[in-house]
Chains A and B, each alone.
Chain A
Amino acid sequence: MSHATTAPHDSHDHAHHPSGILRWLTTTNHKDIGTMYLLFALLMFFVGGAMILAVRVELFQPGLQLMKPELFNQLIGVHALVMIFAALMPAATGFANWQIPLMIGAPDMALPRINNLGFWLLPPAALLLTLPFILALFGIGDGAVATGWTLYAPLSVQGGLGVDFAIFSIHILGISSILGSINVIVTIFNLRAPGMTMMKLPLFAWGWLITAFLLIATIPVLAGAVTMLLTDRHFGTHFFNAAGGGDPILFQHLFWFFGHPEVYILLLPLWGLMPHVLATFSRKPIYGYTAQVYSFIAIGLLSVVVWAHHFFTAGMPVPALLYFMYSTMSISLPLAVLFFCWIATMWKGSMSFETPMLFAQGFIVLFGIAGLTGLVLADVAADAQYHHSYFVVAHFHYALFAGGIMGVMTGVYYWLPKWTGYMIDEKLGKLHFWLTIISFNLTFMPQFFVGLAGMPRRIPDYALQFAEFNAISTVGALILGFSQLLFAYNIWKCMKGDAYGLPKAESRAWEGGESLEWELPSPPPHHSWETPPVIK
């Protein structure tokens, strides 16, 4: 091939890629893939949100108004699966794609083609999960998986074709997660800029590294569990059937061996993000870097040995109850270290309260409620009352909405100027923050009380003494849901910054930003860090 016809190029700033849909199908660029992950997560956040708004409207009053219990059961389970696997996890992977190379001085992710595959597995998986709803409209099957996201056998053995769709969807999502994790690990281990030792690695990358290891350790267990479920359903095995020598509780052990670490899988990248945001807006170095790294590792290790606290009421020997109770309580220790470091990072700083900082601080306070209620849930005796009740629903939404989703929003607002080259609309961002935080508490605070008063979770209709709290909760949920349209609008505005006259972002979009991504222009060139920076 002759080079004579090829135009010489000195700069790699412009992209060499096909245009149109083919660009997005074939891209191996970490920024393109990161963007696709994030937009996919945003879309699925609204899909999962719409499902649960329908549920909340049904629960506005006692009695069945909107839907039959069958559909109710489908919506609650698919809501959870969509939010966890198709919104929160892809959002975190989107962050990893965009930010890990920028923050460690790498030109791209280490395995770009695997990166592309990892993303393009997601849309078919999401389709499989939600397709049974549509099939049911045409009289095929009886709708989506109706067992809750936990898929407990034997209810899931009994279920309709929605369960099979969910099993295959989980397999594909799991493969996607494992590919993403391998990529993160290989990138962090091999592509760090010269001089960046592991103990100089940004905390965001550390959080993601632990998440990646947890995913690789636990996803295969989940895959095994759902495969056993599949063979119980169709091939006459009896893993979960006592009549054939199996045990239904075995499924719960396998599921939660994955399910508990999953909580930290979702949260560790965001715990990694927090110190960056807090340090930036406090204009002060991160406090206790080493302590945070070791806390991440400790939480990662503890997370795989506490799973049975998710089913204390299933009946376990006393020594097992005591072990899982105390080991669960001990997670509060490394977590307290993180809280201490977050607050100490702000302490004696020079704080300003831009939207990302507000979300970070809201995250800390509300996630604090999740942590503290988690501590009491660990108590086996009290758990007998909390378990399976709305108290638990409130607890894990403080962890996964206030911790997870608001953590993701922190990151999006923090990095949008870097990604798009425009500063965010602060006014709109602050409005979004205050609406979110008020309506979130309006939604979930009453659920603690209604749970204590004895309302079980996952019921489509309830006794009359729960009516007031449920009505408040539904009003809160509707405000919360519709407020999120502001979030989408704000992102859209930032992407089309020129049209809305937003100010251009400088390289260091936030005055206090210290990590490597702030050394690059905003937005960074299509190929960045082709010459790695040297870390002293």
Chain B
Amino acid sequence: MKTTDATDHFARHRHPRATRTQGLLAALAAMLVPGTAMADYTWNFPTPVTPIARDTLKIHNEFMIIIGILFAVVFAIMIYSMVKHRKSVGHAPAKFSGPTGAIQWIWALVPFAILLFIDFVIMGIPAYHAVIDMEDTKTKADMVLKVTGMQWKWQYEYPESGVKFISNMSTPRDQIANKEAKGDHYLLEVDNEVVLPVGKKVRILLTATDVIHTWWVPQFGVKRDAVPGFLRETWVKIEEPGVYRGQCAELCGKDHGFMPVVVRAVPEPEYAAWIEKKKGELAAAAAGADKAWSKDELLAKGKEVYEAQCAVCHQPDGKGMPPAFPALSGSKIVTGPLLSPDGKLLKDSHVDRVLNGKEGTAMQAFRNTLNDVELAAVITYERNALGNSKGDLIQPAQIKALR
């Protein structure tokens, strides 16, 4: 069923109380008539926009009806017995302790046979087809999207065009701390949306850099873990343009609740234009690595990068949250030497830590996710702000040479 809000179902619709109640009643009525659109209410799956999600919703609705009937029948029998066979109405207890005679055996075995049929035929056969369909990521796939989970953001990569970017939650921390009114897409909004073409089969490859994350957009009907060191895959074919919101579904550390997934599905030409625009941005950024940057430019850019990438753990003031997330203010590593006298990377130095991370901790290797300018800027910023004043700087070109 197509409604006006189908494109952005995940947004909250602030119905007046009465409309909500009416909605709930209508939904209850819909429950009684199998096959009607239950999906428009928040107490069922959100409106499906992929073939898989549609199948899943159909299967789910059928199953709910089946188990609803099972529940009603079984407990109607039990309640009947509780009413009729009670001591207070003078019912004398029977003595049987098992089936006696053919009729009773039939009574005992028929429910068992019905359940067997429900399990492996009514539920089992559609489930089989759904699994085969869901796991068929390769047949007629039009394009590939690579998704990398990391604490606590997603990186998206389009291997065909080389476009690659990080997607961070954009909900202001003040909204979370209740200092500011919460927006419509509270916790489900990002700085860089991932854009996909409508009507194309997109093969999604998933991995992670640190711990296990799970990529989930409820309206797509797919949920798959992103496992560090391995590739997992799934697929989507979005049927309607719109913005679809989801979030990480596997506990992945402190900000697990704050790594949303936002997908914008657009018609093919619009998608092609968007890819071209992104390519242009990447080329401009790469060109930036070859020019010499002034310290002020680096500090300004560095502050921006620090706040987007680092502040979540090391805190906006650089004081960190020891022992898990050390302070950068006055840190031995940050205030240590920048590079060796001949311009080489020093082991366990500030530059090494930012580029290569620290194994076994949440400190990740940012060489994979930030470009040369961003790395140079953030390193320079950390050494000259947050209570540190080393006075030195590193140029993007130097980072480029160290890679």
* A interface list, Cβ under 8 A from B: 62-65, 68-70, 73, 141-142, 146-148, 152, 154-155, 157-158, 160, 233, 241-243, 247-249, 282-291, 311, 313-315, 318, 321-322, 325-326, 329-330, 332-333, 336-337, 339-340, 343-344, 346-353, 361, 364-365, 368-369, 372-373, 375-376, 379-382, 384-385, 387-389, 449, 452-454, 456-465, 469
Shortest Cβ gap from B260 to chain A (Å): 8
Count chain A CB atoms within 10 A of each CB in B175, B250, B324 and give the residue with the most.
Answer: B250
**How far apart sit A339 and B71, CA to CA, in the bound complex (Å)?**
11
26 CB contacts below 8 A, A to B, read A70-B321, A141-B323, A142-B323, A147-B251, A155-B252, A158-B210, A241-B229, A242-B228, A248-B212, A249-B230, A287-B98, A288-B99, A290-B98, A318-B131, A339-B74, A351-B81, A379-B63, A381-B130, A382-B56, A384-B134, A387-B249, A388-B216, A460-B257, A461-B257, A465-B10, A465-B11
Q: A288-B98, A347-B85, A350-B92 are in contact. Are A459 and B257 (CB under 8 A)?
A: yes
Given A350-B93, A352-B86, A454-B246, residue A385 in contact with residue B45 (CB < 8 A): yes
Is the CB of B78 closer than 8 A to any CB of chain A?
A: yes
Asked if residues B45 and A452 are in contact (CB atoms below 8 Å), the reply is: yes
Docked complex Cα distance between A391 and B111 (Å) = 27
A315 in contact with B225 given A142-B324, A381-B59, A389-B249 (CB within 8 Å): yes
B-chain residues with CB within 8 Å of residue A368 when the two chains form the complex: 71, 74-75
Q: Across the interface, do A321 and B86 meet the contact criterion of CB distance under 8 Å?
A: no
- The answer to whether B85 touches A282 (Cβ under 8 A) is yes
Interface contact A388-B250, CB-CB below 8 Å: yes
Q: B interface vs A, CB < 8 Å?
A: 10-12, 42-46, 52, 55-56, 59-60, 63-64, 67, 70-71, 74-75, 77-78, 81-82, 85-88, 91-99, 108, 111-112, 115-116, 119-120, 123-124, 127-128, 130-135, 175-178, 182, 184-188, 210-212, 214, 216, 218, 221-225, 227-230, 232-233, 245-258, 321, 323-324, 359-362
Q: Which residues on the B side are within 8 Å of A380 (C-beta)?
A: 127, 130-131, 134
Q: Does A62 lie within 8 Å of B64, measured CB to CB?
A: no
Contacts of B175 in A (CB 8 A): 63
- Min CB distance B203 to A, Å, is 14
A462–B120 alpha-carbon span in the complex (Å): 37
Closest-by-CB residue of B relative to A71 is: B254
**Distance (whole angstroms) from the CB of A230 to the closest CB of chain B:** 13
Across the interface, do B67 and A376 meet the contact criterion of CB distance under 8 Å?
yes
A160 to B323, CA, bound (A): 8
B135 and A321 form a contact (CB under 8 A): yes
**Is A64's CB under 8 angstroms from B212's CB?**
no
Q: Which residues of B contact A249 (CB under 8 A)?
A: 227, 230
Contact of B56 among A70, A289, A318, A384 (CB under 8 A): A384
Q: Nearest chain A CB to B167's CB is how many angstroms away?
A: 17
Docked-complex contact B218 and A385, CB < 8 angstroms: yes
Q: A333 near B116 (CB under 8 angstroms)?
A: yes
Nearest chain A CB to B84 CB, angstrom units:
8
Cβ of B233: which chain A residues have Cβ within 8 Å of it?
315
Classify the secondary structure of A's interface with B.
Answer: helix
Interface pairs A-B: 5 shortest CB-CB: A242-B229, A381-B130, A459-B257, A454-B218, A449-B43
The answer, among B81, B124, B188, B232, for a CB contact under 8 Å with A343, is B81
Chain A residues within 8 Å of B249, by CB: 313, 387-389, 456-457
Given known pairs A285-B95, A382-B56, A385-B56, the reply for A336 and B112 (CB within 8 Å) is: yes
The distance in angstroms between the C-alpha atoms of A369 and B380, with both chains bound, is: 59
Q: Which residue of A lies closest to B215 (CB)?
A: A313
- B211→A287 contact, CB < 8 A: no
**How long is the Cα–Cα vector from A463 to B176 in the complex, in angstroms?**
10
User: Which of A158, A388, A453 is the one whose CB lies under 8 Å from B42?
Assistant: A453
Q: B99: nearest residue on chain A (CB-CB)?
A: A288
| B225 pairs with A314, CB closer than 8 A | yes
How far, in angstroms, from A331 to B201 measured CA to CA in the complex? Answer: 36
**Complex Cα–Cα for A376 and B130 (A):** 14
Given contacts A352-B88, A454-B216, 15 further A-B contacts (CB under 8 A): A73-B253, A152-B212, A242-B228, A249-B227, A313-B223, A315-B233, A318-B131, A346-B81, A348-B93, A365-B78, A381-B127, A381-B130, A382-B127, A463-B187, A465-B12
In the assembled complex, which residues on chain A have CB atoms less than 8 Å from the CB atom of B324? Answer: 70, 142, 160
A454 to B48, CA, bound (A): 12
Whether A247 lies near B230 (C-beta < 8 A) is yes
Given contact pairs A69-B254, A147-B251, A329-B119, A382 touches B63 in the complex (Cβ within 8 A): yes
In the complex, the answer to whether B82 meets A361 with C-beta atoms within 8 Å is yes
How many Å from the CB of A160 to the closest CB on chain B? 6
Q: In the complex, how many angstroms separate the beta carbon of B5 from the nearest chain A beta carbon?
A: 12
Q: Please report the C-alpha to C-alpha distance between residue A454 and residue B112 in the assembled complex, in whole angstroms.
A: 34
Within the complex, which residue of A69, A452, A456 is in contact with B216, where a contact is CB–CB below 8 Å? Answer: A456
- Taking CB as reference atom, which chain B residue is nearest A318? B135
- A159 → chain B closest CB, angstroms: 9
CB distance from B124 to the nearest CB of A (A): 7
Say whether B12 contacts A464, CB under 8 Å.
yes
Contacts of B252 in A (CB 8 A): 155
Q: Would B97 and A322 count as touching, CB distance under 8 A?
A: no
Contact A384 B120 (CB under 8 A): no
| Bound complex: CA A465 to CA B15 (Å) | 11
A347 to B211, CA, bound (A): 53
A465 cross-chain contacts in B, Cβ below 8 A: 10-12, 42
Q: How far is the CB of B244 from chain A (nearest CB, A)?
A: 11
CB-based nearest B residue for A63? B178
